[in-house]
């Protein structure tokens, strides 16, 4: 493996989503977005819902969406253990906007049996999916 690349593995409970070499990985860590390149210090962090951007040797990029999970950085490997993960290009924008609207409506129409944490989690996931879709769209326009 070249010194300028790092092995990246994205896995979910259902399947192995991606495995390959990259120059850069950008992920939505709980404390903020992190960028990882070869030689990065070891790290273990919680991921919040959002896009993971992988930059390959030569500059090509792919964006994946994760609903949460963990990111582990070892000397030569980045591993994403996601609750669920998918290519951002496979997300359904209309469904994401609908889920966002439903979560916002639930938050504004609180009833006696209202589950605030569930509604906010659903809203965060919908917004993160929309952001991932927008990143893909922006990349395609350039």
The helix/strand/coil state of 110 is coil
Structure confidence at residue 81 (pLDDT) = 95
Amino acid 117: pLDDT: 77
**Secondary structure (3-state) at 51:** strand
Residue reference for tokens 């326009």: 141
Q: Taking a C-beta distance cutoff of 8 angstroms, is the pair 35, 19 a contact? A: no
pLDDT for 118 beyond 60 = yes
Distance CA 53, CA 12 (A): 16
Task: Note the pLDDT tens digit of each residue in 77-117.
Answer: 999 999 888 876 666 666 766 767 777 777 777 665 667 77
pLDDT one-digit tens code per residue, 10-68: 998 888 999 999 999 999 999 999 999 999 999 999 999 888 999 999 999 998 888 88
Place of tokens 């965060």: 124
Cα(33)–Cα(45) distance, integer angstroms = 11
Domains of the chain by range and CATH? 6-88 (2.60.15.10), 91-141 (1.20.5)
Verdict on whether the full-model pTM lies above 0.85: no
């Amino acid at each position: 493996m070249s010194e300028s690349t790092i092995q990246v593995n994205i896995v979910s409970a259902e399947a192995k989503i991606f495995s390959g070499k990259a120059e850069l990985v950008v992920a939505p860590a709980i404390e903020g977005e992190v960028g990882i390149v070869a030689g990065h210090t070891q790290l273990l962090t919680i991921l919040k819902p959002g896009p993971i951007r992988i930059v390959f040797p030569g500059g090509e990029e792919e964006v994946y969406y994760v609903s949460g999970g963990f990111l582990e950085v070892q000397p030569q490997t980045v591993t994403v253990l996601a609750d669920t993960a998918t290519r951002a290009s496979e997300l359904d924008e209309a469904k994401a906007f609908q889920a966002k609207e439903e979560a916002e409506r639930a938050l504004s129409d609180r009833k006696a049996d209202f589950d605030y944490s569930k509604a906010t989690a659903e809203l965060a996931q919908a917004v993160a999916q929309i952001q991932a879709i927008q990143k893909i769209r922006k990349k395609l326009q350039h």
